[in-house]
Amino acid sequence: MGLGKLFNTLDSAGLVVLRLGLALVFIAHGGQKLFGWFGGAGLEASLAHFEQALGIPMAAALLAMVAEFFGGVGVLLGVLTRVAALGLTTVMAVAMFKVHLPHGFFLNWSCVPELGHGLEFNLALAAMSLTLMITGPGRFSIDKWISEL
């Protein structure tokens, strides 16, 4: 892929809305895991949970947490958006198959919480990330500015 294709994007305001919503979710969730923000467990406890409860090696868990937070920042700013979105899509694919698939499709938060959380939320986030990989970040992004140089 040439650099032009990496930064090229559609001139769409709708992608900005998609990008901002996706970024806020990932920055918040990554911030919980890495920094303990928003009532999160923080880095040490999150790494231990990934390894002990989910069987995910520490290096892979750390990479996922970094991808969530900094991928979210990249998507928010619209910088290296396709790279950031690839990381987010990968994290969601692993989460869907490793963690959420055994609980089915639905979140089950309000009706039957003991069933666990299905994969529907992760699927929506993955679809949003894939959209940005295909289209780029849209208007008001660093990628768009770079593509116009």
pLDDT, tens only, 90-142:
999 999 999 888 888 888 766 666 667 889 999 999 999 999 999 999 999 99
CA distance 82 to 131: 9
Give domain status of residue 37, yes or no.
yes
User: Is the pLDDT at 25 greater than 70, yes or no?
Assistant: yes
Domain-embedded: residue 118: yes
Supply 45's token pair: 């406890």
| CA 148 to chain CA centroid, nearest Å | 27
28 sits in which H/E element = helix 13-35
For residue 149 the two structure tokens come to 């140089």
Task: Answer yes or no: is 6 within a domain.
Answer: no
* Residue 57 domain-assigned (yes or no): yes
Q: Is residue 66 part of a domain?
A: yes
User: What pLDDT does 47 receive?
Assistant: 98
Q: Tell whether the model's pLDDT for residue 1 goes beyond 60.
A: no
Confidence class for position 3, pLDDT limits 50, 70, 90: confident
Q: Is residue 3 part of a domain?
A: no
Task: Give the whole-angstrom CA distance, residue 29 versus residue 9.
Answer: 27
Mind listing the pLDDT tens digit for each residue in 7-22?
999 999 999 999 999 9
pLDDT reported for residue 111 = 63
Please give the Cα distance from 38 to 13 (Å, whole number): 29
> How many Å apart are CA 16 and CA 18, to the nearest integer?
5
pLDDT (0 to 100) of residue 22: 98
pTM to 2 decimal places? 0.91
d(CA 26, CA 138): 19
Expressed as residue numbers, the domain containing 48 is 12-142
- 3-state SS assignment for residue 79: coil
Each residue's pLDDT tens digit, 37-87:
999 999 999 999 999 999 999 999 999 999 999 999 999 999 999 999 999
- Residue 97 domain-assigned? yes
Number of independent structural domains in the chain = 1
In a domain, 116, yes or no: yes
